[in-house]
Structure 1
């Protein structure tokens, strides 16, 4: 970390370019799409990867035409979880 201000955090990667992030949301300050994301811990990255994998797995079960290979009991449990 290079510098912490009241509103922004500045981070340098490898001493080359400095990037600025909003202190409260950790979003990159940019007029364009973010180049990098800032995380406070490695666990946050692992959690985000697990969420992405689980969502892909769930979508693959339901994102198709025809029948779903799940039992009525499995569908009821999924429905109950989704409606929470």
Structure 2
């Protein structure tokens, strides 16, 4: 593929394109409001804008942590449920 695009976070990009990047600590605080869902292996989250994927990355981390806690001793189950957690995420398809 062609040259890699480089995005620069700036006031101009926010003004021109409406881009807003949610800092990780805000993502954590927001996901704590729906803690049970963010840790449920088969739950789905839609991140319509996606951007850097801060929400999707943190949801997947939480799901994988749940998998490790529940199925960490059984390699087959751990892999099975980790795959389910990965496949259950949603995104905008951007």
Q: TM-score, normalised by structure 1?
A: 0.27
Between structures 1 and 2, the one with greater strand share:
1
Q: TM-score, normalised by structure 2?
A: 0.25
Between structures 1 and 2, the one with greater helix share:
2
* Higher RCO (CA 8 Å, separation ≥ 6 residues): 2
Name which one, 1 or 2, has greater alpha-carbon Rg: 1
